[in-house]
Amino acid sequence: MNCDEFENLGLDLNQSGADAEQRAAALDHLRHCSHCAGLVESWEEARAELFLLGDATREAQTPLRVEMRLRQEFRAQRRPSVFYRRTALVAAWSLAVVTLVAGAWNWESWRHQQPKKPAITPVATNGTQQVAAPNDVLLADSDTSAFIPLPGTIPIESGDASVMQVRMQRGALSALGLPVDQEHVSDWIRVDLLVAEDGVPQAVRLHQATTQEGTSQ
């Protein structure tokens, strides 16, 4: 083995990965070459010093302040996600409450718009209301001018009659002798009846909406 070959093995025979034969040749070369022997000796000395350097830093640790800073940063980084999660939660709850309130309001409105049960509200023709009506819709107009006399009835004095507001199916008008469109016999309509003292209806008056429906049909 020559000096170049020895140097190629590296200065540390143990770390060089040389096989037994190479090691024997290297050791033989060291016995005869003072230059390479000096190099190895210098390296051993340097290695001992490297060990001292390594030993001096073996227990080195990152200062605690770095950990504190990192944890602070970690919390700061995570905060937005917590914030957004909370915001989303609040928004979801708000939306649920708004939906609930809107639903309740709609239901209440719908309930008020539903037609009442058939009701008869007698109203005195002289303008005094005999029975307190639950709402304005059921109040009959005491004006008797728009009444259509029913066929076969004798006109009576309006002061002796009462106006009754009735909710009935359109088909029932035929029983009073009035013509009815067969397509709409099952429709519910509101009419005012002029009822004599003996309880027999004398005349009928269709409400405005009903009249319009009737004329359009």
Partner 1 sequence: MRISTDERDDVLLRRAARGEEDAFTCLYKRHQAALYRYALRMTGSAWSAEEIVQEVFMTLIREPKKYNAERGAVGAFLFGITRNRVLKHLERRPREFSIEDASPNGSYYREPVDPVTPAVWAEQRERVAQIRDAVLSLPEEFREAVVLCELEELSYEEAARLSSCPIGTIRSRLHRGRALLLAKLELLRQTPRRATANG
Phi/psi of residue 206, each to 5°?
A: -85, 140
| Least distance CB 37 / partner 1 (angstroms) | 14
Q: Is 53 in the site for partner 1 (CB under 8 A)?
A: yes
Q: Look at residues 168, 151, 159, 165 and name the one whose alpha carbon lies nearest to residue 197.
A: 159
Contact 187, 181 (CB under 8 A): no
* Sole window of 28-36, 47-55, 126-134, 155-163 interacting with partner 1 (rule: CB under 8 A): 47-55
- Chain positions 6 to 25 lying near partner 1, rule: CB under 8 A, are 7-8, 10-12, 15, 17
Mapped onto helix, strand or coil, the DSSP state of residue 45 is helix
Q: Residue 50's closest CA among 5, 15, 9?
A: 15
CB 178 within 8 A of CB 172: no
User: Is there binding between residue 78 and partner 1 (CB under 8 A)?
Assistant: yes
Among 28, 67, 108, 160, binds partner 1 (CB under 8 A): 67
The span of 68-76, 92-100, 140-148, 197-205 binding partner 1 (CB under 8 A) equals: 68-76
Helix (H) or strand (E) holding 112: helix 64-113
- Chain residues binding partner 1 by CB under 8 A are 7-8, 10-12, 15, 17, 39, 42-43, 46-47, 49-50, 52-67, 69-71, 73-75, 77-78, 81-82
